Chains A and B, each alone.
Chain A
Amino acid sequence: MIEVRDLHKAFGTVKAVDGVSFIARDGEITGLLGPNGAGKTTTLRMLYTLMTPDRGQVLVDGIDAAVDPLGVRRQLGVLPDARGLYKRLTARENIDYFGRLHGLPEDLLASRREALVKALEMDDIADRRTEGFSQGQRVKTAIARALVHDPRNVILDEPTNGLDVMATRALRQFMARLKAEGRCVLFSSHIMQEVAALCDRIVVIAHGRVVADESPDALRAQTGAANLEDAFVKIIGTDEGLAA
């Protein structure tokens, strides 16, 4: 479970995150929806302790990120906005590197790695060097290495960015599977369809603030809009920066 309490982060005079609070529960997919520049990535970066909040608290499975950042990172599987691979290493070697950094014993690492390779259907590319990988192949590899330590909580920053339809579908199925396994899945997106189709809970962020935190149905009821798209536009006040 990921708990975020009143997070603030400013860069100079720009308040990127200005009082964000929400809870992402185990066995649910929580969507962080907001236009570009709303503060989604900065919020997530504070979750996986890349950045320190100016104010507020992050708890992952009850561990305070300010007190034990390494402990928090151990509980998390992260697909950051930046998902660069080591291009002179094969996909398997990329996955192994992160597994070893997590301190996995070799036999466990091998079985986890192979399970992910199978689940993500990347058998054909696993022993190729990642140089020249397609966007979809890159994301698969990045997800596999993020999940190799079998984390209870999974954070995905705009996971479908740049993926084609087939790859997007596959990824959504994979996220549903993570949820079925009882994990806490938190992902950000600016694509309404995606959030609507996947999420148990939607946290809408605009201008660094949470403007709604509901289930999709509740969101519709709250705004009185017939479909989610209209609901979002009503909540955010503009459709700028969103994609259908």
Chain B
Amino acid sequence: MSKATSNPRRGRAFLTVFLKEVKENLRDRRTLMSAFLTGPLLGPLLFVMLINVTLNRELEKAEKPLPVPVIGAEFAPNLLDALKAGGVVPGAAVADPEQTVRKQDADVVLRIAADYGKAWRKGEPVQVELFYDSSQRDANTSVERMTRLVEGYARQQGAMRLVARGMSPSTAWPLQVARRDQATPQSRAVLMFAMLPYFFVITIFMGGMYLAIDLTAGERERQSLEPLFANPVPRWKILCGKLAAICAFSAASLLITLLAFAVVGQFIPAEKIGMELDLGLHFATYVSLLMLPLVLLLAVLQSMVAAFAKSYREAQTYISLLMLVPIIPSLLLSFMPIKAQAWMYAVPLLGQNLGIMQLLRGDGVTGEQLGLCLAGSLAAALLAVLATVQLYRSEKLAISA
């Protein structure tokens, strides 16, 4: 019988646990699918499809002939000619313009009053009506285009009247607004890609999810936690080995998804609408760096949540709820654009979100922002580790059923 003396190999318990978890989970098809296939690839695929659909629709709208039902077309033939020159195809009059736009039969309806011709000839202001539904985002491009055409025609006619009266057209427009849009092709892209950081977070989440559930709930359900804890290894070492395995899987997921984004980024026709999208090596490097502490934080949070669950299924339920938390900063930033303050970079998830958006804008992240982001998230992750270690000391944790 071997005398139990202190053994230097025991220090390798961490590595033993890590290697065993990795080996065991590499043999699980469900974990593999989630970590290396569906998790990291579904995002980029979905993304490129969505973006393509959106972009193509915008592009089509901008160039395509625009059918617009016109009521009272016969009263304003000149206006109609001008509209036709702008690509509008006047359609037959509809009886109820309000209903037509509300039911999305047409994006926009033009109504010309019967006294249009009379008033026009007298030189009095006349009114044309545009019916549209601004809650139909889809129709907005058409409405804007139609509005621009009508207003353009009005200005042009006004200028001609002034010239006819021997006045300079500038008399009527003492002020000229010159728009200087400072959006770069890259920053224009940001609006569309506000949800991109969430994809990365979800990928990390999916990559480690099954391992995290297995960590406690799974071990407890298959009754292997009690024998495991009977070994002469402190529980925190076992926990750390398992956390490392979760991190390895979720980090691998993140790398795969970054690679996938770099590839699919080539297929997004961003330049067609004057955007520039850089999802290449530089982007990927910075995103991995920003996300690194988040990998640990999410691994710990998942393990912590799973430790409260009595069974595998229960853990799955809790973790899917947890998955909704990271969406908050993404939603917040896309619905209420806030000006980023320095401290925000130190907030886990929010910091990463801001950083990635800045990378997309092409501004890059400063050393200070990067430092704050890493320090804030890492501090949160370490706190969570301590809390979970404490949780692991609980007697009840090991007891099955």
Contact = CB atoms under 8 A, between A and B. Distances in A.
Interface of A: 48, 50-52, 70-71, 73-76, 78-89, 93, 97-98, 100-105, 108, 142, 145-146, 149-152, 183
15 contacts: A50-B395, A81-B226, A82-B225, A82-B400, A83-B227, A88-B25, A93-B20, A97-B16, A97-B20, A100-B13, A101-B232, A103-B11, A104-B9, A108-B2, A142-B227
Nearest to B7: A103
Interface size grouping (class) on chain B: 35 or more
B27 A101 contact: no
A82 B400 CA distance: 7
Interface in B192-238: 219, 222-234
B118 interface: no
A50 B20 contact: no
Nearest to B16: A100
Given A50-B398, A100-B9, 13 more contacts: A50-B226, A70-B233, A73-B231, A78-B230, A79-B227, A82-B223, A82-B224, A84-B222, A88-B27, A97-B16, A103-B7, A103-B8, A142-B227
A74 B4 contact: yes
Given A51-B395, A84-B400, A150-B1, A101 B231 contact: yes
A81 B225 CA distance: 11
By secondary structure, the A interface counts as loop
B265 to A, nearest CB: 36
B10 interface: yes
B57 interface: no
Contact of A78 (B24, B227, B233): B227
A91 to B, nearest CB: 14
Contacts of A81: 226
A108 B9 CA distance: 12
Interface in B3-60: 4, 7-13, 16-17, 20, 23-25, 27-28
Contacts, number: 100
B23 A82 contact: no
Given A101-B231, A103-B9, A71 B4 contact: yes
Contacts of A79: 227
Nearest to A157: B226
A73 B230 contact: yes
Nearest to A103: B10
B22 to A, nearest CB: 12
B229 A50 contact: yes
A74 B2 CA distance: 10
Contact of B24 (A50, A86, A146): A86
Contact of B4 (A75, A88, A183): A75
Contacts of A142: 227
Contact of A84 (B4, B10, B25, B223): B223
Given A97-B16, A102-B10, A52 B227 contact: no
A50 B234 contact: no
Nearest to B26: A88
Nearest to A9: B395
Interface string B360-401: 000000000000000000000000000000000001001110
Contact of A88 (B11, B24, B230, B233): B24
Contact of A80 (B20, B230, B234): B230
A101 B13 contact: yes
A16 to B, nearest CB: 12
